Amino acid sequence: MRAVPGVVVLNPGSGPAPIGEAEVAPHFPGSDVVACDPDEMADRIRAAVDRGVPFVAVGGGDGTIRAAAQVLAGTGVPLLPVPAGTRNHFAREVGIEDLEDAARAAAGGVTLTVDLGEVNGWRFVNNSSIGIYPRIVVTREARERRWPKGLATVAAAWEQLRHGRRFRVTVDGRSYRAWMVFVGNGRYGRGLLRLNSREALDDNVLDFRLARTDSPLARARVVAALVAGGLDRSPLLVQREARHLDLALDRTTVAVAVDGEVHTLEPPLRYVSLPAALTVLVPPEAAAKIAER
């Protein structure tokens, strides 16, 4: 099947072994393939949209895909994720595991519309978080090379709970002392760290989770619940679903992770689910699987 020419933008600094133009170009015959610095990516994508390209393929990890989605949202021009980063959660969620999958999508793929999350103008494809959650994930993944996943999870959580800073956050008028706030674009798995996949990409909902510190022995109770596999039932884990959330914090600025990249934002933080905000180009077999969710 002959590929429809589009434009392919690569982040040369993404991941431990980023892919280059020479490797990618044969998979996208007729398409313009260009590597550019992250600071130039938005302008490159806007120029491609203005030219009326049929799709924009973007090579990089979740942070790179997020930056592309920020520009492409609402344009109707499909985003084709090319997994080339340290973590490629969004690409895998839409059925693109490797370069060959991306090439099949370019050659004869199907377009889908998916939701985006947004916090104070920053859009995200996966999730946003405050506090210790990003550090737990990084520590766990480093230890999984040597330890079983369950043990690595508990050890990572304990380390961060011992040293992580607590903060006060008010959500819809209710105040908490917390270690972590997590906001997912769509419903994730149950519990604090079962956040590798979602039930759907178009259910127009934010998945809010907060780990409380405002009770006796909270740290030990959180870790005990992790060991027992029952953290999703613990009163120390606050969970809810909403289409929008307002978070007030006890500081003038706060570090907020958005698809793995940290930005300094000014509270209050206003989260909103943007329904069908992004068009994505995926392989035909992936579209069928996503429709079955």
132/264 same-domain check: yes
Please give the pLDDT value at position 56. Answer: 97
CATH of the domain at 37: 3.40.50.10330
In a domain, 148, yes or no: yes
132/104 same-domain check: no
Last residue of a domain, one of 108, 143, 158: 108
Condensed to tens digits (0 to 9), the pLDDT of residues 162-219 reads 666 788 999 988 999 988 898 999 998 765 555 567 888 999 999 998 888 876 556 6
What mean pLDDT value characterizes the chain?
85
Task: Grade residue 280 by pLDDT with cuts at 50, 70 and 90.
Answer: very high
70/99 same-domain check: yes
59 contacts: CB under 8 Å, gap ≥ 6: 8, 9, 10, 11, 14, 18, 19, 24, 82, 83, 84
104/164 same-domain check: no
Condensed to tens digits (0 to 9), the pLDDT of residues 61-117 reads 999 999 999 999 999 999 999 998 777 889 999 999 999 999 999 999 999 999 999
pTM for the whole structure: 0.85
Q: Domain range spanning residue 48? A: 7-108
Last residue of a domain, one of 108, 138, 167: 108
Domain count, the chain: 2
